Amino acid sequence: MTKPRRRLLLPGCLLVVLSALFGIAGIGVIVAGSVSGAAVDRAEPHSWTAGDVVLQFNRFGTCEVVPESGAPRVVEPKRQVEELQVQRWFSGTASITCDQPVTAWQGSAAGLRSFVSSSAFEYGLATLVVLPLLALVVLLVRRSGAPR
Asked if 124 and 56 sit in the same domain, the reply is no
User: Of 2, 7, 1, 22, which is closest to residue 142 (Cα–Cα)?
Assistant: 7
Confidence of residue 58 (pLDDT cuts 50, 70, 90): confident
pLDDT digits (tens, 9 = 90+) for 12-57: 788 889 899 999 999 998 888 888 888 887 787 888 888 889 998 8
Residue 98, domain CATH: 2.60.120
Q: Are residues 78 and 111 in the same domain?
A: yes
Instruction: Please report whether residue 14 resides in a domain.
Output: no
Q: What phi and psi values does residue 142 have, to the nearest 5 degrees?
A: -65, -40
In a domain, 16, yes or no: no
Whether residue 132 sits in one domain with residue 64: no
pLDDT given at position 67: 92
Residue 92 makes CB contacts below 8 A (sequence gap 6+) with: 67, 68, 69
Shared-domain flag, residues 80 and 54: yes
Specify the DSSP class assigned to residue 59. Answer: S
Q: Are residues 84 and 148 in the same domain?
A: no
104 and 128 inside one domain = no
Considering the domain architecture, whether residues 93 and 132 belong to the same structural domain is answered as no
The whole domain housing 111 covers 35-117
Q: Is the pTM of this model over 0.75?
A: no
Same domain for 127 and 106: no
The answer to whether 144 and 17 are in contact (CB under 8 A) is no
What pLDDT digit, counting tens, does each position of 93-131 carry?
A: 999 999 888 889 988 888 888 888 888 999 999 999 999
Same domain, 63 and 128: no
